[in-house]
Structures are given as structure tokens and as C-alpha cells.
Chain A
């Protein structure tokens, strides 16, 4: 009887250890398999040419990723520029001003915003943002715009990353010791002065980490952006031009083009590129956030 219990315990322990090791190796497995799938195109072409050329003619064997890389970058940048002020202001409000009732009311709002599927965001974007840009905003600045633009992608993406930004920033603000805030308030500072001089200054690294994390989320978002940004292979010259981000490129072409091995490899190369950037960004910002969490744990 005693033996059996011990054996059960041992078995369970090794099983769990196996799963734990598997989890760490899984990340490596994804990276390596994408790398080996992308290797043919990296051998065929110079890596520098792949990243900086803007010739995209898969059937002639020209694979220049610059338009897609720039599109991804511009759309994400606009999303961050729009989302950041709203997120910072709202998280400060939730952290230092709002009553318990307001806080409790806002939690499901953030939950829902982060839970809404990308396709729904895409529908919302095509129904409201795209016509708004085509009819109202773009005519003020340029002669013609279809509405399916960098700006539309940026706005939809901004809404999608706001919940991530807010939930991390609220955590960061909460990690600031209450004593510091009390000290500032008791010296006669107003709430806003405390926010400005104590909270924001203390949590600047956390805000940067949250921004980097949100940026990496924005890089990889596929369906919603694909539905609103036009998908035309070009380097966008203004925010009213159509663009074609990397994830949309993979989603639109993968699976059909297996007959051309170099095309498949090129698409895998873009998946690998996304993977590397996202892992790098995520790693750095998660590391920073973990440090912050540790610093204020007593």
C-alpha cells in the first residue's frame, strides 16, 4: 500500500517534469521549424536584399519584403500613437481617481474589449471607420482615398491593443508603494501633481515595457487589419494609402502557393521574421515587467 502511493507520486512527478520541459522546448521547436522552412529563400537570396528590396514578383522570383515590413511598421505605429494617450489617461484614472464602483464597472469593459474576436473588429472597421475615412477625413487632405488605408488599420488596431495596455499599466501603477503616494499627498500636492511627479516618474520603465508589448501584439494581428487596410503591395506614402502588412500577406497567400517552393519559403520567411521580432519584443518587455513586480514586493 505504501509502495503504491510512493510509485504514484513518483510517476506523477516525472510526467509533470516532462510537460514542463516540453513547454520550454516548444518555443524552440516553433522557431527552428520556421527557420528551416525559411532557409531555402535565405540561401537563394541575400538576406539584405530580401529585407530592403521592394520588388515583389513571386512568379519571377523577386521577393522584396520592404513594402510589407514598412506597412506593418506604419500601421502599428499609428495604432500605438492613438492608443497610448487613451490608455495612460484611463489607467491613471482607474488607479488614482475612480471609486470602487467605477473600477468594478470598468473591469468587464476591458475584458470584453480584449475578448471581442478580430473578425468582429474587422467588420466594425469596414462598416464605420473605412467609410468615415473615405467620405469625411481623407477628402480634407487628399483627392481620393478608398478608405481602406493605413489609417483605418491603425485605428482598428488601436482599439484592439487598448485593453492590453490598460491592464498592464494598471498593474504597473498598482506596484508603486502606497507610502510614496501618501508622502506626496501629505506634502500638499494635488492628486494630479502626485500622478505627474511620483506615479508617472516611477513607472516610466513599466509604461515603456507595456508599449513594446502592445507593439508586438500589433505586429502580429492578422484578420482585423487584413479586412481594413486594402492589401495592395506598395510602400505607403501617406496614411491615406492602402498597405499590406506581413500577417495579411501570409494569410492571403499561404496554402495556395505550395506549387512554387520558393514562394512557400518566402512566406515562411515572413512568418519567421514575425516570430523573431515578437519573441524579442516580448522577451524584453516581460523581463522588465517582472523586474518591476519584484522590486516592489515586500
Chain B
């Protein structure tokens, strides 16, 4: 009798310890980045392009990388929204419930979601060589779009599945076509789409392996789709490789910028998804 109470107590303590360790690691990671990066973080970092001797420790910032990352993610988002939204609507409202086809699509999305970003990067590069496109903003956009599309589709699908079938039934019984029905439902699903988009941005903006061969690197802000584009993760990676200490410190400062972006995205995704569960019928 005593034994089983004792066992209960011991394992409860072990479990709480495991949870605390995981929480501790998160705090440890974020504080390490902030501790190392804060001294080098100046306003110049986010408002200036790299100057002449930037990689020797002279002045400048990583505006090129921030702008490049934003351009790439915006382009990739545009492509993946245009493809994701119709697909999710199709498997949820056009195909019959539990059909084999929708199961097959969901299954392939699961697998696409698991493919490592380096494989997308290699595939994207092979595709670009085949099409005769050089490492450029366009290449980066296409490859990142491949990476974030499954993420967006899966999380949007998960939220759409929660929608009760009363509203679609009511719309159809009023004589709406399926397409008209979907247009109305989209309003209801808007917060869900926003959550999916934010998650996709978070994954796409932080990934280095996809853009490593496809987007190239430059010290300027790309002015057209054919020009190479710098990205924030790659900029961090290259600055870290420098033997000069100031440059390394600036890598940590750039890491703060990236971390803050991810924190904001993650919390706003949470905010929008909680909003969705409130609006749910």
C-alpha cells in the first residue's frame, strides 16, 4: 500500500523535473542569444546595409538580409496561399467525408511536411539549373514556397476540419452553389488562415538550408526577381564564420533580430487561433 503511494510520488517528481528541464532549455537558448547579442545590437544593424569593411568589423547593418528575407517570404506566401486555400476547401467541402482521395492528399501532405529542407533546397537548385535560372530572389521564393506550402495546408486543414457542418448545410439548402458557399465560409475561417500563414512565415523565414543554393547572397537589396537576395539566417551563418570578433558579435545581434521576429510570429499565431476557437459555431 505504502509502496504504490511512494512510487506515485517519485514518478510525479521525475515528471515535473523533465518538464522543468524542457522549459529551462528554452529559457537558456533565448537568454544565451540575448546575452551574447545585446551589446552589439544597435539601430544601425536594422537600418543600414553592410558598409565597405563590414565583414572586417567596420560599420553597417544587415538590412540587406532583413529585406531579402521579407521579399522571399512575401513571394513564397503569395504562391502558397493561392495553392493552399483552394486545396483545403476542396478536400473539406467538395470531396465527400472520409473519401479515399482526400485521405490520399492528406497523407501526401504529411509526407511533404516531413521532407527535410535541404532536400527541397537540392531539388529547387536542380530545377533552377534545368530551367536556366541562376541563384536569385525568384529561386529563393520558389524553393521557400515548396517548403512552407505543406505547413500552411496542414495547419489550415486542421482548423477547417473543426468547422461544424451546420453552416455549409444551411448555405446549400438556401440554394447557394458550392463555390458561393466556400466564399462565405472563408470569412468564418479567416482567423484560421491567419494562424496558418503566421506559422508558415515562422518556418520559412528561419530556414537556411532551402535558400543556401537557391537565393544566393548579396550586400544589396534585390531590385528585381533575377538578382540574388541575402537572407537573415544565412547572414547570421556567414558572419559567424568570420574570424573577426566584432563580426561574430554582430552575428549574435542578428540572431536576436531573428529570434524576436519568431517570438512575435509565434505569439500572434496563438492569439489568432484562440480568437478562432471563440468564433467557432
Residues of chain A touching chain B, judged by Cβ–Cβ distance below 8 Å, are: 5-6, 8-9, 12-13, 15-17, 19-20, 22-24, 26-27, 30, 33-34, 37, 85-86, 89-90, 92-94, 97-98, 106-109, 111-113, 115-124, 126-128, 159, 162, 166, 190-193, 195, 213, 216-217, 219-223, 227, 247, 250-251, 254-255, 258, 267-268, 271, 274-275, 278-279, 281-283, 286-287, 290
Contact = CB atoms under 8 A, between A and B. Distances in A.
B179 A250 contact: no
Given A128-B32, A190-B8, A274-B118, A5 B180 contact: yes
B111 interface: yes
10 contacts: A30-B120, A106-B23, A108-B267, A119-B237, A120-B206, A123-B252, A192-B4, A222-B118, A247-B118, A278-B116
Nearest to A107: B270
Given A118-B206, A119-B255, A20 B122 contact: no
B89 interface: yes
B262 interface: yes
A190 B2 CA distance: 11
Closest 9 CB pairs of A and B: A220-B116, A117-B206, A16-B90, A89-B18, A93-B15, A282-B114, A9-B177, A271-B122, A222-B209
B86 A8 contact: no
A85 B26 CA distance: 17
A171 B182 CA distance: 29
Given A9-B178, A86-B21, A116 B86 contact: no
B115 A30 contact: yes
Contacts of A193: 4, 7-8
A89 B20 CA distance: 11
B206 A119 contact: yes
A12 B178 CA distance: 9
B112 A26 contact: yes
A113 B122 contact: no
A224 to B, nearest CB: 9
Contacts, number: 250
A221 B108 CA distance: 20
Contact of B114 (A92, A216, A271, A287): A216
Interface of B: 4-5, 7-8, 11-12, 14-16, 18-19, 21-23, 25-26, 28-29, 32-33, 36, 83, 86-87, 89-91, 94, 101, 103-105, 107-112, 114-123, 125-127, 129, 135, 153, 177-180, 182, 202-203, 205-209, 212-213, 233, 236-237, 240, 251-252, 255, 258-259, 262-263, 265-267, 269-270
Contacts of A283: 107, 111
B209 A247 contact: yes
A16 B89 contact: yes
Contacts of B265: 115
A23 B118 contact: no
The CB with the most chain B CB atoms within 10 A, among A8, A191, A219, A251, is that of: A251
